[in-house]
Amino acid sequence: MSYHEDTAKSKNMRHEIADSFDEFRADQQLKLKAAWQKGKKICGVYCAFAPRELIRASGAIPVSLCGTKQEPIPEAEKILPRNLCPLIKSSYGYAITWSCPYYNFSHFLIGETTCDGKTKMFELIAREKPIYVMDLPKRVNNSSSALAYWLAEIRKVKKFIEDQTGNTITEDNLHKAISIQNAERILLKRLACLCRGSHIPITGLDMNRVVNGKGFCVDQGEYIKNLEVLTKELEAKVNEGQSVCSEDASRILLTGCPIGEGSEKVLRTIEECGGIVVCQEACSGIKNFDDLVDEDKEPLKAIAERYLKIGCSCISPNTRRIELLDRLVKEFNVDGVVDLTWLACHTYNVESFIIKDYLNKRHKVPFLQVEADYSEGDIMQLRVRLEAFLEMIHR
């Protein structure tokens, strides 16, 4: 049975998964507006390095603001250079057009120095809303000084959050927030790991929708409850031998820049061409929930240690990403790796060579780097390249 025939066979299951989390997100947007009207503080975040535990412990609601759609980019390009990363232009376009409800409802923002373009964008956004930009140390491997510096940043952002909300972040509330955030990470990893075996119960496209849903939760407990229901349903399907793809579909690990609703074209095209994305490493994927905060340590230090483990390309050398990819290639038994780089994302672009060289020497796994922006103008070229890559894997 072909991939497309098998996909049609499981159409109802896939649509039920996607629809349930689409409905959840729409419901959460209504709840967010209601919370905003009642005076609940809302914090917009732009990166995986923003400590959600501190935001939740203050009583505020964190929402993701990274732009993932093409529509606001033309307005952003009236101010920002055109040869800038589409994620930055999309994020800024939403801010200046006030066309994103999550940005509109946000009372204050947390940014980070993960790239020069975003750092300068935050200077412009600071004209509109209060923002704290966390200064991330760039050399973190086995460095006590990097941890000390980052812990100081965690303390500073804690003070900023308290000042913006008017609430003290108590140690008790912080422990509770850490426990809940860890529970969410454990479930997301349990869900993602269902694709390790030969029976794959969820497409990469639907997995991406589910994971991205966590960035728009008013009620985190409700999201966790939905995750638990979904995970149990999919575990049952795996036990029954059900899969959303044929057994010979190429198992792809997608790495590189983050993707979201509106910027899934590479992920979507891989699966339309007959592959199946069994794992996504980016900060919109498993990288964001692979590690937990140690609940037995002093909470601020434990938070600092956990977030400093994120293998971002702004870190040099970025050994964390290499170590994670080394493990994921084996655990998910991948047939090929696709590395997505958004145009003008220089750190990921340079790092792609390092990743390719390492994976080729270590695993002899086929590797393809794809550079793209958010527009659909290159979709046919992408399709040709990805089809050729998948055919090469099967030779």
- Checking if the pLDDT of 4 tops 80, the result is no
**What mean pLDDT is predicted for residues 85-108?**
97
Average model confidence (pLDDT) across the chain: 93
pLDDT band at 17 (very low <50, low <70, confident <90, very high): low
pLDDT tens for residues 208-259? 999 999 999 999 999 999 999 999 999 999 999 999 999 899 999 999 999 9
Question: 264 is in which domain, residue-wise?
Answer: 3-394
For 112, other C-beta atoms within 10 Å of its C-beta total 24
DSSP string, 273-290: TT-EEEEE-STTTGGGTS
User: Domain count of the chain?
Assistant: 1
Give the pLDDT of residue 11.
Answer: 41
CATH number of the domain to which 89 belongs: 3.40.50.11900
Give the pLDDT of residue 7.
Answer: 39
Q: What is the 3-state secondary structure (H, E, C) of 132-188?
A: EEECCCCCCCCCHHHHHHHHHHHHHHHHHHHHHHCCCCCHHHHHHHHHHHHHHHHHH
pTM (predicted TM-score): 0.94
280-49-345-388 Cα dihedral, nearest 10 degrees: 0
pLDDT band at 14 (very low <50, low <70, confident <90, very high): low
Q: Is 389 helix (H, G, I), strand (E, B) or coil?
A: helix
- Checking if the pLDDT of 58 tops 50, the result is yes
pLDDT tens for residues 161-199? 999 999 999 999 999 999 999 999 999 999 999 999 999
Rounded distance, CA 153 to CA 64, Å? 20
